[in-house]
Amino acid sequence: MTNRRIEKGVERNNPFEIVVNGEKIPAYPGETIAAALLAAGKRTCRLTKIRKEPRGIYCGMGICMGCGMVVNGKPNTLVCQTVATPNCQVQTQIGVEDWEIRK
Amino acid sequence: MREVPLAIIGGGPAGICAAIEAAKYGVQSILFEESHSLGGQIYHRLPDSLRIIDQRQLGKDYVQGAQLLAELERYRDKFELRQDVLVWGIFPEKEIAFLHNGKTAMLKAQKLILAEGAYDRPMPFPGWTLPGAMTAGAALRLVKAEKVLPGERILLSGTGPLQLALAAWLVRGGATVVAVLEAGTLKSSWQYLPGIWGQWELLKDGLDYLREINRAKVPLLRGHAIVEAKGEKQVQKAIYAKVNRGGKPIAGTERNVEVDTIITGYGLVPSTRLSRLCGCLHKWNPYLGGWVPCLDDYMETTAPGIFAAGDCTGIEGAIVAQEEGRLAALRVCQQLGLITAEEAGRRYSAIFHKLRGLRKFEVALNQLFAIRQGWLAGAADDVIICRCEEVTAGEIRKVIAEGFTNLSEIKNLTRAGMGPCQGRICEPIITEIISLKTNQPVAETGFLSPRPPVKPLPFGSTVIYDSS
């Protein structure tokens, strides 16, 4: 996979790590969790409640609720609206309102 | 309960300009913004830790946004800014409930300006729920404000000039844009020339984008659209085809392409959750993007003292939004007696003059790239329409066939629109499905009336703890 962060003409501060389902991936200061996930090629945010289908970033502006994940234990966190913090724990969520973490 | 003269909801171009004008004439306002920074969808700020060396990576909108925010900054001590705050309810007497840090507070405003903005019109097709299929707005935000590409091999499908802008941004960022599919055929586009004539600066922007994607040899296919997305756990393939005016694929023209990302850009839908909640009268106007609040010349809704400005009153772009925000705030100032009728009149006529040309241009564009009947309503029965509750087009058509043609009835019977997005995504689609199936104009199908909270709140957060 090629680098999905645009580097030409852009400078960033040093990255830190966030933990996605136990796996460490880099994130840059100020970046949303969604951007860090997509840059790492990780696209599934949650599984739907009934069909258990994967869903990812769709509207990107916090209205479709498709990117709700469990962040630091808090379910339904919209990762497209949430800025990554060092070592934040991000987990795939099943369902939306009645939530459980994917084992 | 605390009282303020003016509350402005939404910190995009319209809300920012409203705050500026209110501050100029000494009206104390409070500006609510749901996200952590001002600017709205178009004037995204970049995080401080991201520095842009190449100005082309900033773009024209960024520069315009920076100028506007600098103007607002000059009045910083004359208004109250509440960022990261969700306004989740507006109650009678203009009482506003808002959420910050998991707690709800309330205040009462004498006047209210709603600047809710707009969102991407959803376009359903088989596979549109797969990760890797997203809206143009989501992709633009990623590439402009985060400097991250949504994927590597990308197919764009939609209508209108925003697609060209997005394609240019993606190419600039190093992605491969496999094709840009324009669902419209642009036949008889000369009809719209009078509206476009004279707005050279705006036209030039479009031509610049077109030139950029031509240079990158990105095919722009008119009369084509996405038919299906395929993939196991994410988008891996796309099928697109030539389509007729109703959006139906023409047999034998299908093409298969390997892509990891499909981006749909079928224009925008005005956000009208709060104006609906306030009981304002709305009308259906396809060339403004759908349901919009009925307004007088000064942006006042049918609910006295409640104004609306910007794309939530019709999709007319950021420049119009700014003028509308100023207009609404000036009217508020006049109603509160802080500006003379003479001064107000002078300002109004300057704004009306600007708006006339700009609105003509935007409406001509919206007509040129109008959503045709059948585009949204054409999804096969097994396609999911309500992404939250996983309700298919077939389930919706079944209850319509049983005689339930009202959005609320369909919601109760199928659960479509009952999920956490509260119908924002599925309502524009279901509306078109009803209209096509029952042959009644969309204006007759009505809309879902929201109830507070307009967005799901964390458990326990509706407890009102103070009134600051």
pLDDT at B82: 97
Answer whether B57 sits within 8 Å of A81, measured CB to CB.
no
Helix residue spans in B216-316 (DSSP H): 273-277
Please give the helix or strand (H or E) that residue A23 lies within, else none: strand A23-27
Among partner residues A5, A10, A59, which is closest to B57 by beta-carbon distance? A10
Res A11: pLDDT: 92
The mean per-residue pLDDT over the stretch B100-113 comes to: 93
ipTM summary value: 0.95
Q: Nearest-CA distance from B149 to chain A in Å?
A: 5
Contact B173/B147 with Cβ under 8 angstroms?
Answer: yes
Containing H/E element for B85? none
Q: Are A75 and B437 in contact (CB under 8 A)?
A: no
Q: What are phi and psi for residue A13, nearest 5 degrees?
A: -70, 175
The residue with greater pLDDT, B125 or B455, is B125
Question: Which residues on neighbouring strands pair with residue B268, listed in sequence order?
Answer: B120
Phi, psi of B307 (to 5 degrees): -110, 160
Structure tokens at B115: 């600047």
Q: Which two tokens stand for residue A67?
A: 């990117």
pLDDT in tens, A89-102: 999 998 766 555 65
Phi, psi of B164 (to 5 degrees): -65, -40
Q: What is the pLDDT of residues B155-200, one digit of tens each?
A: 999 998 889 999 999 999 999 999 999 998 776 566 666 666 666 6
Record the tokens describing residue B237, joined without a space: 């393939």
Cα of A45 vs its chain's centroid, Å: 6
Which of A 40-79 lie inside 8 A of B, CB atoms?
43-45, 48-51, 53-66, 68, 74, 76
* Domains contained in chain A, CATH given: 16-101 (3.10.20.440)
DSSP label at residue B172: H
User: Residue B13 is which amino acid?
Assistant: P
User: Sign (positive/negative) of CA torsion B16, B19, B24, B25?
Assistant: positive
Predicted confidence at residue B197, as pLDDT, reads 65
- Which residues in A lie closer than 8 A to residue B119 (C-beta atoms)? 59, 61, 63
Per residue in A20-56, pLDDT (tens digit) is 999 999 999 999 999 999 999 999 999 999 999 999 9
pTM value is 0.95
**Record: contact A53-B129, CB cut-off 8 A:** yes
Q: Which pLDDT band holds residue B36 (cuts at 50, 70, 90)?
A: confident
From the list A9, A34, A80, the residue facing B52 with the nearest CB is A9
* Interchain contact, B134 vs A58, CB within 8 Å: yes
> What is the rounded distance in angstroms from the CA atom of residue B389 to the CA atom of residue B127?
16
Kindly list the distances between the CA atom of residue B124 and the CA atoms of A48, B84, B127, B378, B427, in Å, as whole numbers in the listed order: 17, 31, 8, 8, 12
Size of interface A-B (CB pairs under 8 A): 152
Going from the N-terminus, what domains does chain B have, and what CATH number goes with each?
3-119+269-366 (3.50.50.60), 123-266 (3.50.50.60), 384-444 (1.10.10.1100)
Region of B132 (left: φ > 0; alpha: ψ -120 to 50; beta: rest) is left
